[in-house]
Structure 1
Amino acid sequence: MSRIDTTVFTEGEIAYLSAQRLGRLATITPDGGPQVNPVSCYYNPVTNTIDIGGHNMASSRKYHNVRERPRAAVVVDDMPDGMDSIRCLEIRGTAEAVDTPSDSAARASGAIIRIYPRRVISWGIDPPHRSRGARSIP
């Protein structure tokens, strides 16, 4: 799966993603319910995707969820100055279970989950007003 589109993320969103390493990944379980896990996540500038790494990824439930139902979302957020300064990116998209990535930003030595963004929701990230914004990615 390959789709490089330099318009997926704003410069502010890329800077934010590059500074954050912890996110929450939502995948779809066999019974159709959500599974949410804390994960390490990285913006991959080569593929313009979000790469999710982790210990024993290939044997994890989330990896198998993505292999069987290739949709996922990841949320990366923080509160640098308390409740009045919440920053967040929610990235929804097509997910791919990649056994041996050759171009991973996840700094993982093994399997990763790669998310190809289809919907990006952000708030508190881009100036001037740092308001909430949402957009679909073709």
Structure 2
Amino acid sequence: MTFTDQEVEYMRSQPVARFATVSGDGQPDVVPVAFEFDATYFWIGGIGADVLGTRKFRNVAGSHHKVALVIDDLVSLDPFIARSIRVYGRAEQPFERVGIVGPGTFIRVTPTVSWSWNLDGKPAGDSWYDARRTVHEPPCETALE
């Protein structure tokens, strides 16, 4: 399965995600990042010579390739309306490419499982939102070249 058109539209409308990695000693780390989604991969990047030294790049360069992204927003507090997508994936890096902020070095995240909630933007009501869970198939080998 893959992301729905509604999920892709929502992700492309949001400028910031929270990106979680794990260090070599098991310490989780989460950081807000600008991101791109090209309908196959998420791209998390940076510009400048020091980008490979950032915690997110160091963590992925080690043996911890499992990562998570959360893309969300709070539409309203009264009534309470929240929308969200959580993505588990496998990270690889570095990739040199031109992103939304220009040329830079990027981590490529292949989604493995995702959950989305309330992309219609409805009030929560008396119960929490039901989640849509999707297991993502890896892209075909020719897409990796």
Q: 1:71 aligns with which of 66, 69, 79?
A: 66
CA positional deviation for 1:100: 1.1
Q: Deviation per CA, 1:50-90: give whole Å up to 9, x if none.
A: 11123443221111111212111110100112262110011
Please give the residue correspondences for 1:40-51 in structure 2 after superposition, counting only pairs within 5 Å.
40-45=34-39, 48-51=40-43
Structure 1, unmatched stretches of 5+, are 1-6
**Sequence identity, in percent?**
28
Cα–Cα, structure 1 residues 29 and 60, in superposed 2: closer, same or farther, change >3 Å? same
Q: CA–CA distance in 2 between the matches of 1:106 and 1:50?
A: 12
Please give the residue correspondences for 1:15-26 in structure 2 after superposition, counting only pairs within 5 Å.
15-26=9-20
Alpha-carbon contact 1:120-1:134 (below 8 Å) kept = yes
Q: What is the aligned length?
A: 128
More strand by share: 2
Task: Name the SS of the counterpart of 1:9 in structure 2.
Answer: coil
Task: Name the SS of the counterpart of 1:64 in structure 2.
Answer: helix
Q: Which has the larger radius of gyration?
A: 2
Alpha-carbon contact 1:13-1:126 (below 8 Å) kept = no
Task: Name the SS of the counterpart of 2:80 in structure 1.
Answer: helix
Cα–Cα, structure 1 residues 105 and 17, in superposed 2: closer, same or farther, change >3 Å? farther
Structure 2, unmatched stretches of 5+, are 123-128, 138-145
Q: CA–CA distance in 2 between the matches of 1:108 and 1:32?
A: 32
1:123 alignment partner in structure 2: 117
2:81 alignment partner in structure 1: 85
Q: 2:45 aligns with which of 46, 53, 56?
A: 53
Alpha-carbon contact 1:53-1:106 (below 8 Å) kept = no
Alpha-carbon contact 2:85-2:117 (below 8 Å) kept = yes
Task: Name the SS of the counterpart of 1:78 in structure 2.
Answer: strand
Q: CA–CA distance in 1 between the matches of 2:16 and 2:82?
A: 15
Q: Deviation per CA, 1:90-113: give whole Å up to 9, x if none.
A: 110111112313xx5554411111
Q: CA–CA distance in 1 between the matches of 2:8 and 2:120?
A: 10
- Report the aligned-residue RMSD: 2.3
